[in-house]
Amino acid sequence: MSENLYTELRKLSPKVTGGLIRMREETFRDASVPAKYKILSALVAVVVTKCEPCIRGYTKMAFQKGVTQDELIEFLNVAITEGGCPGETWALKAFQAYKELEQGKEIEEELCCQFEDRK
């Protein structure tokens, strides 16, 4: 999807488009529950629902928030438990992304519906 197309849709529908981005900004801030745990919870959801761009995006967000490998593994264990065999396969994608980030590699995939100018 092109940025120009999204920008045009955003101008035609400003109250609806960009809503998910605004929700994420509010949801994934530090409050009573630290942001990193909310991001890890979202990672569990996207592992179970098998959204690869989201897995890589939330893993990157978790890494940027200082999530340790041990914390990541505990939340991936929840995803594996809830997702069964497929959950394990998709959890490996998150673990791989985390390892790449540890090695200093850049994760190019972002959340599947994110653009810079969505506010």
Residue 47 lies in a domain: yes
Residue-level pLDDT at 24:
87
How far apart are the C-alpha atoms of 114 and 40, rounded to whole Å?
18
Number of domain units in the chain = 1
For residue range 21-30, list pLDDT tens digits in order: 888 889 999 9
Residue 67 lies in a domain: yes
CATH of the domain at 26: 1.20.1290.10
Residue 40 lies in a domain: yes
**101 contact partners, CB below 8 Å, separation of at least 6:** 59, 60, 63, 107
Residue-level pLDDT at 114:
55
pLDDT at 117 over 70: no
pLDDT at 2 over 50: yes
pLDDT at 41 over 80: yes
For residue range 54-112, list pLDDT tens digits in order: 999 999 999 999 999 999 999 999 999 999 999 999 999 999 999 999 999 998 765 56
Average pLDDT value for residue range 32-49:
97
Residue 36 lies in a domain: yes
Residue 91 lies in a domain: yes
Confidence of residue 18 (pLDDT cuts 50, 70, 90): confident
Residue-level pLDDT at 119:
41
Q: Which residue range is the domain that position 80 belongs to?
A: 3-102
Q: At what angle do helices 35-49 and 69-102 cross, to 10 degrees?
A: 80
Residue 44 lies in a domain: yes
- DSSP 8-state secondary structure symbol assigned to residue 7: H
